[in-house]
Amino acid sequence: MENILDIIDALAHEKGLSPENVKVALKNAFIKTAQRLINEDFTFAAEIDEETKSIRVYQTITVVDDEDDDNLYTEEGDVNQGFISLTRAREEVDPDVDIGDEFQIEHDIESHGRTAAMTLYREIEYHVQRLVEDELYNKYKEKIGTIVNGRVTRVDDKNTTYIEMDEVRAVLPMKSRIKGEAFVVGDVVRAVVRRVNIDKVNGIQIELSRTSPKFLEGLLALEVPEIADEVVLIEKAARIPGERAKIALLSMHPQVDPVGATVGVKGVRINAVSEELLGENIDCIEYSTVPELFIARAMSPAIINAVTIEGEADNEENPLKAIVTLPSDQKSKAIGKSGINIRLASMLTGYTIELVEQAGGETAEATAKAEEKKDDLSSLEALFG
């Protein structure tokens, strides 16, 4: 095929691909075409002549022993054109060849006529499409956990939303939508890339989510410059989509208040994120490496008297448990509506939280112990801030 280099440049420009990758794809297309037209079991190679701008296809033939009938003949008894006997090779090719040597003969694909042209066209289309999908796969694989924008093109009867994003179509399943959320064709949607798959049958598949904690983190990075600049880090996040969320923040600068920076003046920053999440309430707390202190903060808005950690770290059979002691009038706040506060606190900290209500008629000794634990907690607050 003449002017193959021009075809490569045109395909690379049209599809936004690397010319070198297109070259490889076209070589593979010619090799596959030769196998389909000549013999699937033969070994072929393709080379591009830079001077003539043409591509040539060669078959590799292996020299074997004269008595090697297994390779010299097929199961039907026909001569196997992929191998040649040593005697014949020395007579017809090179007197110095030896067993195991290989040489190549050229095949003219165009000599096979219209069938070859149609087969080659399908193979080029297939290999270029696979190349495009591989490029997109690598591109969006790097975007997992980041926010993308797209326009809704279709919503099916299962409420799966199909979103057009530049050169690909992504899917937003109903389970990954916030409760009560509905989209129509033409809506512009923001979501986080949750999963990217590729296979030969369905091609590239991109799944989006609006319920993942990563979506909340991405929105905060868009609204809060300190988070985008990594002056404030989101150490952990937990969500019950559309209802409530808790985020643990850590400041990398002593003069930056992580909670204040994230909330913004009069709550303008956090409210913008909440609005995108259909009014989801977002609790911002300061992260601490001290488990007792971190758990106490995570239980906000409840006021906690003491936190005691039970169990061993990383023990799956006996998961870590936190015993939280609190006044009786704080228990409802700690639990939250339908248990949402304690569930989020557990998700955020990674501890199973058990509430112990402080009895009103406890003994003086019990009161003293509770006060002592409260003082310890206050000391931790002062020490780790």
**Is residue 28 packed enough to be buried (19+ CB in 10 Å), middle (13-18) or exposed (0-12)?**
middle
Task: Give the burial class of 32: count Cβ atoms within 10 A of its Cβ; 0-12 exposed, 13-18 middle, 19 or more buried.
Answer: buried
Query: Could you give the residue ranges of the DSSP H alpha helices within the chain?
Result: 4-15, 19-37, 69-72, 86-92, 114-141, 213-223, 225-228, 258-263, 268-276, 291-298, 331-335, 340-349, 364-384
Encode burial over 133-153: b for 16+ CB neighbours within 10 A, e otherwise: bebbbeebeeeeeebbebebe
What CATH architecture does domain 4-139 belong to? 2-Layer Sandwich (3.30)
Lowest-pLDDT choice from 98-112, 154-168, 264-278: 98-112
CA 330 to the chain's CA centroid: 41
For CATH 3.30.300.20, the residue range(s) in the chain are 212-287, 291-385
Asked if residue 106 lies in contact with residue 56, where contact means CB atoms within 8 angstroms, the answer is yes
pLDDT for 144 equals 93
Q: How far apart are CA 248 and CA 239, in angstroms?
A: 12
φ, ψ dihedrals at 288, nearest 5°: -140, 145
Q: What is the pLDDT of residues 213-265, one digit of tens each?
A: 999 999 999 999 999 999 999 999 999 999 999 999 999 999 999 999 999 99
Q: Say what the pLDDT of residue 385 is.
A: 47
Assign 3-class secondary structure to 327-338. Answer: EHHHHHHHHCHH
Best CATH choice for the domain 291-385 from the list 2.40.50.100, 3.30.300.30, 3.20.20.70, 3.30.300.20: 3.30.300.20
Rounded to 10°, the helix 19-37/114-141 angle is: 140
Tell me, which fold does domain 212-287 have in CATH? GMP Synthetase; Chain A, domain 3 (3.30.300)
Adjacent-strand bridge partners of 233: 250
The whole-number average pLDDT for the span 82-89 is 82
Could you say which architecture CATH assigns to the domain 146-207? Beta Barrel (2.40)
Peptide bond connecting 301 to the previous residue in cis, omega within 30 degrees of 0: yes
pLDDT in tens, 18-64: 888 888 889 899 999 988 888 887 888 888 887 777 888 888 888 88
Mean pLDDT (the chain) is 86
| pLDDT category of residue 68 using cuts at 50, 70 and 90 | confident
CB 5 within 8 A of CB 53: yes
Mean pLDDT for the stretch of residues 143-152: 94
Where does CATH 2.40.50.140 sit in the chain?
146-207
